[in-house]
Amino acid sequence: MTFQTSENLKTKISYMSDRLLPKLVVAPTFVSTIVFVYSFILWTAWISFTKSRLLPRYKLEGLIQYIKLFTNDRWWVASKNLFVFGSLFIIICIITGLLLAIFLDQKIRIEGALRTIFLYPMALSFIVTGTVWKWILNPSIGIAKLMHDMGFLSFHFDWLVNSDMAIYTVVIAGVWQSSGFVMALFLAGLRGIDDSIIKAAQIDGASLPRIYLKIIIPSLRPVFFSALMILCHIAIKSFDLIVALTGGGPGYSSDVPATFMYSFAFTRGRLGLGAASSMVMFGAVLAILIPYLYSELRSRDNE
Amino acid sequence: MNFKLLAKTMAVLILFCVFSTSTFAGQVEVLHWWTSGGEAKSVAILKGLLEKEGHSWKDMAVAGGAGENAMTVLKTRAMAGNPPTAAQVKGPAIQEWAREGLLANLDPVAKKENWDKLVPSVVTDIMKYQGHYVAVPVNVHKINWMWCNPSVFIKAKAKIPTTWAEFETAAKKIKAAGFIPVAFGGQAWQEATVFESVVIGQAGAAFYKKALVDTEPGALNSPQMIKALKTFKMIKKYTDKNAPGRDWNMATSMVIKGEAAMQFMGDWAKGEFTAAGKNPGTDYVAIPAPESAGTYLFNIDSFIMFKQKDKSAQQAQNAMARLILGKKFQEVFNVNKGSIPVRSGIAKASFDDIALRSMDEFAAAAANGTLMPSMAHGMAVYPAVQGAIYDVVTEFYNSDMTAKEAAAKFVTTIAAAK
């Protein structure tokens, strides 16, 4: 009798701990995500429909902030910059990352050291990267001065202070920082490929570039997916890099939506407009991510 | 037994603490961003004066971002219903805070201390919301100065200019002699600082008020404005290529070192010259920006005071307001910070020549109606409108936009920001 009860109790406890404990452990994170992420997204959406200025007001006023946003020249400059920066940054990072990974994968010596060297920029914060590149690219103290001192007087590099080119300096610094990380991702992917496939292809007489193009790179598809996701969010979130490197200038020629949002919502007391701009950014992220996630996850289900 | 004794002592101590805070002293919690050397010293003086009267001071210094970080903190605190006693807020932003219904009425102190008589009405208007004092002015900075290195002018055989025509002649000579005529920092606020000095100089104080204070479309898009914009853009020809993004003090050091001949900057530039061991009159010269003699663009720091429920906190707040405009603090603070007192009747002995000149000009401009709030430094218009003007000025300065287009764009952009 007693034996049975204690057995019962044991199963009860183990049942409880199996079923309830995980829920209990996850609950705080779950609740805080609901409150601090999703409810604040809704709050921002609400604010974007009001005439909030310095402090939030909750009376709905319709689309007025969105109309103001879309007639604001600075917003379009910022959006165009994000498009230019985002696409170049992602494409160049993936290409250099992939090439570095392929070269490192050729069973070379001191691979470990090289890998660390390429990966190391990732350990820096974007503020440091931005500040260092600001000095390197500064026409009076950086590369340009070095070349002049070496006697190349015709050397000319003023992108950092040129309104049309400033955004490309952000691409340079961003690529420098992130391509090592992409390399690490691809390297892990390459290591996961079965050698026997490559050997079989070699026996069939396929050349090395052909093996890479037709077999290895296509099989890295999941890595491309992760790299794209990570780079995409780095690009859209990029704020510190721009603040440290160009400060959004000259003028506001290298502004991006994140710096736009910050300056309108917090510096200029136009909370409503700032909220509207962050909702548009949010919408843009969803518009890119959802179809991609959908197609990726569906094709994986089919496999 | 021992434990009992301890408990009793504790209880007495706690009671004592409770009583001591509620009976004879109030606390002020002050949010500010005066954290650098001279500024921090100046704040400590106010703290000392308050403590002498038995009140306590809780410092809430938030450094960085020219007050941007402090503003973010202030907004968070205000939204949570727990604002500090006083916060460093200036210009029309005072009206925005007052409109939220959060600010205390300082009329009793103001009346007793006769603020209306001591401070020019252009300034008190900014401190009042619907006719009541809600803020206390602290100090005055003059914006429309031109800082020159006379030795560069001598080497280039040029004359220090007082008009824009003279400026262009001198700048050409300086450039030909291998110097940079104008040390310029390409940041939006610095561009706006130079721009407003051009507007008030070339088109006069009355026009400046219509255009950059009242933002009348008729003045913003007018021949005078187009002319001022062209003059402003002309300056760019005489700056170096590395100006974009440069900090103001780096530009000042170019003048100090003799690489550049002049800089348009407010009176805080004096601190850089002093720190470099330079003497006014011989090593450097400060004169009004071309054609702007007799006008005075001011930047005035102030503290807004939040409503207090607690009686003792109110008393402490009133004491703080009184002390800020008191003679002692006005003198010591402004000597330290390199600005000038906002009220009259301060002993002049401890101020230097540039400050004395600035004080005379301040009084004269107040009498002549040429004392104007600075747009670039957030004294003239709401932050939203100021931002809109910044955007047009910086775009015009850094692109191929024509002056005519910029003047038209002022009207549309400002309308959208209101």
**Every domain of chain A and the residues it spans:** 74-302
Helices marked H in chain A: 2-33, 40-47, 64-70, 73-104, 111-119, 126-137, 143-149, 166-191, 195-203, 208-211, 217-219, 221-237, 240-245, 257-262, 271-302
The reply to whether A51 touches chain B by the CB within 8 Å rule is no
Note whether A270 contacts B: Cβ–Cβ < 8 A: yes
Specify if B19 maps to a domain.
no
pLDDT-based confidence at residue B209 (cuts at 50, 70, 90)? very high
Contact A253 B75 (CB under 8 A): no
Banded model confidence at residue A201, pLDDT cuts 50, 70, 90: confident
Q: Do B242 and A139 touch (CB under 8 A)?
A: yes
Contact A129, A121 (CB under 8 A): yes
| B405 interfaces chain A, CB cutoff of 8 Å | no
Q: Which residue has the higher pLDDT, A140 or A127?
A: A127
Q: Is B186 on the interface with A (CB under 8 A)?
A: yes
**Are B170 and B181 contacting, i.e. CB atoms less than 8 angstroms apart?**
yes
Contact between A160 and B394 using a beta-carbon 8 Å cutoff: no
Give the contacts of B291 (CB within 8 A, at least 6 positions apart).
B162, B163, B164, B201, B202
Q: Is A75 on the interface with B (CB under 8 A)?
A: no
**What is the rounded average pLDDT of the residues A150-159?**
80
**β-pair type (B340-341, B135-142):** antiparallel
Cα distance from B79 to chain A (closest Cα, Å)? 7
Strand B132-133 and strand B128-129: the pairing is antiparallel
Residues B219 and B332 in one domain: no
Look at A71-80, A112-121, A263-272, B56-65 and tell me which has the smallest mean pLDDT: B56-65
pLDDT of B340 over the 80 cut: yes
Which one, of B289, B306, B320, B297, lies nearest residue B366 by Cα?
Answer: B297
Rounded (10°) angle between helices A126-137 and A166-191: 130
Q: Do A268 and B188 touch (CB under 8 A)?
A: no
The continuous run of DSSP H or E covering B408 comes out as helix B403-417
* Whether B166 and B251 share a structural domain: yes
pLDDT at B21: 43
Mean pLDDT, all residues of chain A:
86
Q: State yes or no: cis peptide before A250, omega within 30 of 0.
A: yes
Q: Are residues B94 and B194 in the same domain?
A: no
Span of A246-255, A262-271, B65-74, B394-403 with lowest mean pLDDT = B65-74
Quick check: B257 contacting A, CB < 8 Å? no
A134 touches chain B (CB under 8 A): yes
Same domain, B270 and B125: no
Whether B324 is covered by a domain: the verdict is yes
Residues in chain B with CB shorter than 8 Å from the CB of A56 are 79
User: Mean pLDDT: which of A274-278, B31-35, B60-64 is highest?
Assistant: A274-278
- A41, β-bridge pairs: none
Residue A129 has pLDDT above 70, yes or no: yes
- Asked if A161 lies within 8 A of B242 by C-beta distance, the reply is yes
Q: Does A90 have pLDDT greater than 70?
A: yes
Q: Do B187 and A55 touch (CB under 8 A)?
A: no
What would the mean pLDDT of A292-297 be, rounded to a whole number? Answer: 76
CB-based contact, B398 to chain A, within 8 Å: yes
pLDDT digits (tens, 9 = 90+) for B214-235: 999 999 999 999 999 999 999 9
Residue B66 confidence class, pLDDT cut points 50, 70, 90: low
> What is the band of A207 on the pLDDT scale with cuts at 50, 70, 90?
confident
Maximum CA extent, chain B: 92
pLDDT at A247 over 90: no
Residue B237 lies in a domain: yes
Kind of pairing between the strands at B128-129 and B260-265 = unpaired
Spell out which residues of chain B touch residue A68, defining contact as CB-CB under 8 Å: 416
Q: What percent of chain B stands above pLDDT 90?
A: 51
Distance between CA A106 and CA B1 in Å, rounded?
81
**Confidence at B18, pLDDT banded by 50, 70, 90:** very low
> Are B157 and A217 a contacting pair, CB within 8 Å?
no
Q: What is the pLDDT of residue A9?
A: 75
Using the Cβ of A142 and the Cβ atoms of chain B, whether some distance falls under 8 Å is answered with no
For chain B, say whether A68 makes contact (Cβ under 8 Å): yes
Q: Do B165 and B305 fall into the same domain?
A: no
B289 shares a domain with B181 = yes
Which pLDDT score is estimated for A301? 58
Output the six-digit token pair for B207: 């026009």
Nearest CA in chain A to B414: A72
Q: A155 or A221, which is more confident?
A: A221
Domain count, chain B: 2
Q: B117 and B93 in one domain?
A: yes
The Cα of A282 is separated from the nearest Cα of chain B by a number of Å equal to: 23
CA distance B168 to B227: 15
pLDDT of A155 above 60: yes
Residue B1's pLDDT band, with cuts at 50, 70 and 90, is very low
Residues 6+ apart with CB under 8 A from B260: B149, B152, B179, B180, B181, B182, B183, B240, B251, B254
Distances (CA, A) of A295 to A292, A303, B120: 5, 12, 69
What are φ and ψ of residue B130, in 5° steps? 50, 40
Going by pLDDT thresholds of 50, 70 and 90, the confidence category of residue B236 is very high
CA–CA separation, B237 vs B240, rounded Å? 8
B119 and B154 assigned to the same domain: no
CATH, domain A74-302, list 3.30.70.1140, 1.10.3720.10, 3.20.20.70, 1.20.210.10: 1.10.3720.10
Q: Read off the tokens for B246.
A: 């440069």
pLDDT at A146: 84
Does the pLDDT value for residue B27 go beyond 90?
A: no
The answer to whether the CB atoms of A249 and B244 lie below 8 A apart is: yes
Which is more confidently placed, B17 or A230? A230
Q: What is the pLDDT of residues A161-185, one digit of tens each?
A: 888 888 999 999 999 999 999 999 9
Q: Work out the burial of residue B298: count CB atoms within 10 Å of its CB; fewer than 13 is exposed, 13-18 middle, 19 or more buried.
A: buried
Whether B182 and B287 map to the same domain: the answer is yes
Q: Check: CB of residue A209 under 8 Å from CB of residue A102.
A: no
Per-residue pLDDT tens for A9-67?
777 777 777 788 888 888 899 999 999 999 999 999 999 998 888 778 888 888 888 98
**Which chain B residues contact residue A71 at CB under 8 A?**
416
Look at residue B19 and tell me whether its pLDDT is greater than 70.
no
**pLDDT tier for residue B166 given thresholds of 50, 70 and 90:** very high
Q: Average pLDDT in the B295-301 region? A: 92
Statement to judge: residues B243 and B363 lie in one domain: no
pLDDT of the residue at B20: 43
Residue B292 has pLDDT above 80, yes or no: yes
Q: Do A140 and B386 touch (CB under 8 A)?
A: no
B309 occurs within a structural domain: yes
Instruction: Using pLDDT thresholds of 50, 70 and 90, give the confidence band for residue B325.
Output: very high
Contact A252 B100 (CB under 8 A): no
Which 144-163 residues of chain B touch chain A by CB within 8 A? Answer: none
Q: Would you say residue B10 has pLDDT above 70?
A: no
Q: Which of B62, B73, B74, B75 to probe the A interface (max A CBs under 10 A)?
A: B75
Yes or no, beta carbons of B245 and A161 under 8 Å apart:
yes
> Residues B125, B164: one domain?
no
pLDDT bin (cut points 50, 70, 90) of residue A2 is low
User: Residue B175 falls within a domain, yes or no?
Assistant: yes
Has residue B393 got a pLDDT over 70? yes
Q: What is the mean pLDDT of residues B62-90?
A: 83
**pLDDT of res. A273:** 92
Contact residues on chain A for B100, CB-CB shorter than 8 A = 54-55
Are B96 and A251 within 8 A, CB to CB? no
Span of B9-18, B251-260, B314-323 with lowest mean pLDDT: B9-18
Confidence of residue A263 (pLDDT cuts 50, 70, 90): confident
CA distance A188 to chain B (A): 41
Res B5 pLDDT > 70? no
pLDDT score, position B11 = 56
Residue B17 is predicted with a pLDDT of 46
pLDDT band at A4 (very low <50, low <70, confident <90, very high): low
Least confident among A226-230, B170-174, B202-206: A226-230
Q: Among B390, B397, B405, B410, which would you mutate to test the A interface (most chain A Cβ atoms within 10 Å of its Cβ)?
A: B390
Q: Which domain holds residue B235?
A: 145-297+376-417
CATH of the domain at B413: 3.40.190.10
Say how many CB pairs under 8 Å bridge A and B. 85
B38 and B109 in a single domain? The answer is yes
How close is the nearest chain B Cα to the Cα of A224, in Å?
37
Q: Does residue A298 register a pLDDT over 80? A: no
Distance from CA of A41 to the nearest CA of B (A): 18
Q: Check CB contact of B367 with chain A, cutoff 8 Å.
A: no
* Res B103: pLDDT: 92
